[in-house]
Amino acid sequence: MKFKFWGVRGSIPTPGPQTVKYGGNTTCIEIRTNRNELIILDAGTGIHALAQTLLRDMPITAHIFITHTHWDHIQGLPFFLPIFFKNNRINLYGGQDPVTDENINRALSAQLQYSYFPIHEAQLKARIDYLTVRPGETVSVGSARITPIILNHPVLNFGYRVDCDGASLFFTGDFESPINIYQPEDDNYASYRGFLLEKHQEIIEAMQDVDALIVDSSYTDEEYATRLGWGHGTYRSGIKLASEANAKRLFLTHHEPTRTDADLDLIYRDLLEQHPRFADKLFIAREGLEVCF
Ligand SMILES: [Zn+2]
Ligand SMILES: [Zn+2]
């Protein structure tokens, strides 16, 4: 199995001279099994460049797993060019939102509305199947097994574990470790704390011993102090998850939009200084970075 980052930015694309090294496209990860089956995690703007590489190999079959439907994770879908050509097969996987009851087909059809996009959904020529994933229910794609787990975010968000060819990775999508909504003096504090600990244990088990853990690490501790509840992790929380889950490699991603290449270089240097035992297994995700197991 191998994977490649096509988009590592959070929230909004950030092209420009200050993001050349790490890249300015929003979230997209390409996974290839040893049998060359194509799995894509999220369809941020990075999926456009990935699509260019697929055109020469058409017809293709692509399995796109969406962590959640915030714009930065779906905005590239209408620009995934294989959808415009017949004989391509696109399987689009995502959750059913408990608030709106909508399935993943809504993510694409909403973007293709008359007001927002020049091409209508009926003009897509590929065969597109929409598949609903459910927590803990493993989906088989060729030789790969993909298992979704719900991770805390201000909308339904799945982290995905991918097992294939004797290797594994876990991608969080957007994830903020939940905090206790009760004050210590409240009656419900202890029971809610128990619930959170149980959920945390489930998450660690889902990530256990993966070869690559790819986590939302949008913020520094200082930034996070004023952004509680925005749904994102920190560098510190990413490292904590990797330690607890015994991940073999940790990739920090979903870079905060104002973060420049120089900022990320500095953060990386500081993290390596603070966590020397991560010296050979901590990486800042950047566009184009490809990892083979
Ligand atoms: Zn995001
Ligand atoms: Zn989000």
Distance 93 CA to ligand 2 centre (A): 17
Ligand with minimal distance to 216 CA: 1
> Which of 283, 212, 261 is closest to 41 using CA atoms?
212
SS3 65: strand
Give the tokens for residue 247.
Answer: 């991940």
Query: CB within 8 A of 76, min separation 6: which ones?
Result: 7, 25, 26, 28, 43, 44, 45, 46, 47, 48
pLDDT tens digits for range 195-217: 999 999 999 999 999 999 999 99
Question: What number of residues does the chain have?
Answer: 293
By percentage, how much of the chain surpasses pLDDT 90?
Answer: 97
Whole-angstrom distance, CA of residue 78 vs CA of residue 75: 7
212-216 and 250-253 as β-strands: parallel, antiparallel, unpaired? Answer: parallel
Q: What is the pLDDT of residue 21?
A: 98
126 CA → ligand 2 middle, Å: 28
Q: How many CB atoms neighbour CB 119 within 10 A?
A: 11
26 DSSP assignment: B
**Cα distance between residue 242 and residue 209, in whole Å:** 9
Q: Residues 243-279: pLDDT tens digits? A: 999 999 999 999 999 999 999 999 999 999 999 999 9
Q: Going by C-beta distance under 8 Å and a sequence separation of 6 or more, which residues neighbour residue 195?
A: none
Q: 30 C-alpha vs ligand 2 centroid, how far in Å?
A: 19
Give 67 Cα–ligand 1 centroid separation in angstroms: 9
145-to-66, 201, 262 alpha-carbon distances in Å: 15, 21, 38
Confidence of residue 141 (pLDDT cuts 50, 70, 90): very high
Distance 110 CA to ligand 1 centre (A): 18
Q: Are strands 61-65 and 38-41 parallel, antiparallel or unpaired?
A: parallel
Relative to the alpha carbon of 43, which ligand is closest?
1
- Could you give the CA distance from residue 236 to residue 135 in angstroms, rounded to a whole number? 26
Q: What's the whole-number mean pLDDT along residues 188-199? A: 94
* pLDDT, mean of residues 153-163: 97
Q: How far apart are CA 224 and CA 238, in angstroms?
A: 13
**Model pLDDT for residues 28-37, shown as the tens digit of each residue:** 999 999 999 9
H helix runs in 226-275, sequence order = 235-245, 261-274
What distance in Å separates the CA atoms of residue 232 and residue 126, rounded to the nearest whole number?
A: 34
Measure 231 CA to ligand 2 centroid, in angstroms: 7
